[in-house]
Structure formats: C-alpha cells, structure tokens
Amino acid sequence: MIKTVVVGAAGRMGRRLTANIAASQTLELYGAVEYAESPFIGTDAGELAGVGKLGVAVTSDLDAALTGADAVIDFATGGVLECVKSAARQGCAAVIGTTALPPEVRAEFAKLAANGARIVAAYNMSVGINLLIKLVHDAASTLGCNYDAEIVEMHHNQKKDAPSGTAVRLAEEICAVRGWDYDKDVRHGREGMVGARSDREIGMHSLRGGDVVGDHTVIFAVNGERIELSHKASSRDTFAKGALRAVEFLAAAKPGLYDMQDVLGLK
C-alpha cells in the first residue's frame, strides 16, 4: 500500500481525497495536515470525511506527517511550496492540485524535480478535462487562427481565484498552438465600447454561482459555423480519483515534474 498524506485535509477537496483513499485498494491514509489554527486539529480525518474513524488525526506538523510517507497530495490553499520542499527532503512523491500558484512557485517545483523530486502538478486532475485539453489542442491545430476562440468557465460561489486554473490551461494550449502569448493575447471579459473583436485575442469569461463543481466550454467561431467543446464536472470525486492515479503513477516514475497529460499517457 502507498502511504499517502493529505494536506488541506479539512477542505472540500481534502475530505473527498480522504474518502477516496479510504476506499482504495492501493493507497492508505498515512497522515492528514491542516494549518496550525485550524479548528479541526486533532479530529480523526476519516470522521471529518464522513467515512468513519481511520485512526489518523489531523495535525499541523507537516514534517512529522511526511516522515515515512510515500506520497503527499496537497490541495491546500496555503503553504504549498513548503509542503513540496518538505516532501522532496524526505524522498516523498508530491501531487499538487492547488490552483493559482504564482509562476515562481512552479519554477521552484521544476528546480526541485531537477534535483531528484517526483512531482505531479496539475490545475485539473479529471480524466475528462485532460481529454478536453487534447481535443482543444487538436481543434486549434486543425481550425487555424481565423476561428475566434472564447473560453467560458463556471464554478461555485465560494471559489476564490478567477479565471479557473483549468481555463488558464485551456487558453495556454490554444496560445501554444497559435504561437500567441497568454499575457498579451487573452482578454478577460468585455465591458463598454470595446470595439470589434480583434483577430488576435482569446476571450475569457468567469461565471460564479451556487454549488457548480466546474464547467468549462471552449468555443471556436467563424462566419458560418461554430464548434463548442464542453466538460462539466458534477462531483469532486473526479478530481480526487485523478489525484490518486497521479500518486500511483509517481510510485513508478523517475524524478521529474509531470502533469496529468503524462499520468494519463495523453502526450
């Protein structure tokens, strides 16, 4: 069994990760971590996840939790780099699902991987979304630059970052195919007399409301037709199950920084 620690264990994703690990034939819950002031310190992680006592109490001592662990899954909204550094020091593989990480943090992941760490970092761990990324790549390649590309995403009303990491990833994929630049060529929303759409832009639109787990649509439109590629997640388990697959992938992987396209063999 792969001894796995969940960081951000009291969060929406953390609880589903614990529940899925409890049901897994290959992973076992070895530790559960939250920030020091969390009201859930000392609570049994299984009870927190609604799957009954697992004998693993939530702790804020990250280094101690990772000692002897094979893998850590981190979907926490803070302290991610600290966690990956601690995992690297202890030879523990790291699966990172947290979104909106600054470029400097992702650059640190690459440095740690070059020095022997095994890391999967992906803004969306769902199999369907990773297939969508491939389909968007293929559509952008086939259609060329004269199809107007627009991205629409919707998430629950508690989501803190916008656009979603997945929407960013989809835009980056189109930019890569077209030789465009995300920072210059992605246009976030439109308001007022903005003029006609330019030939060189990808529209990005973030909707927030209710308990939507995650919807993403990429539209390619030209005079006479439009293609829409959509994915709708209805349960967080889709991300949790992807994270568990990433842990299994890293158990046999060489040091490196991977994404879900690597895990799923979509490259």
Q: Which residues bind ligand NAD (CB under 6 A)?
A: 7-8, 10-14, 33-35, 38, 75-79, 97-99, 122-125, 239
Give 155 or 180: the residue with its C-beta nearer to ligand NAD: 155
Give 220 or 245: the residue with its C-beta nearer to ligand NAD: 245
Give 10 or 66: the residue with its C-beta nearer to ligand NAD: 10
Structure tokens at 138: 């293929």
Active site residue 159: yes
- Given the residues 3, 134, 137, 159, the one annotated as active site: 159
Tell the smallest beta-carbon distance from residue 84 to ligand NAD (Å). Answer: 12
Nearest to 252 by CA among 70, 21, 89, 65: 70
Residue 110 identity: A
> How many whole angstroms separate alpha carbon 167 and alpha carbon 165?
5
Active site residue 155: yes
- Given the residues 155, 216, 231, 241, the one annotated as active site: 155
CA angle 2, 107, 145 (to 5 degrees): 105
> How many whole angstroms separate alpha carbon 45 and alpha carbon 32?
6
Give 153 or 220: the residue with its C-beta nearer to ligand NAD: 153
Tell the smallest beta-carbon distance from residue 122 to ligand NAD (Å). Answer: 6
Tell the smallest beta-carbon distance from residue 23 to ligand NAD (Å). Answer: 18
CA angle 234, 237, 243 (to 5 degrees): 130
Tell the smallest beta-carbon distance from residue 9 to ligand NAD (Å). Answer: 7
Query: Do residues 75 and 125 lie in contact, with contact meaning Cβ atoms separated by under 8 Å?
Result: no
Q: Examine residue 39 and say whether the peptide bond preceding it is cis (omega within 30 degrees of 0).
A: no
Return the residue nearest ligand NAD (CB atom): 11
List active site positions: 155, 159
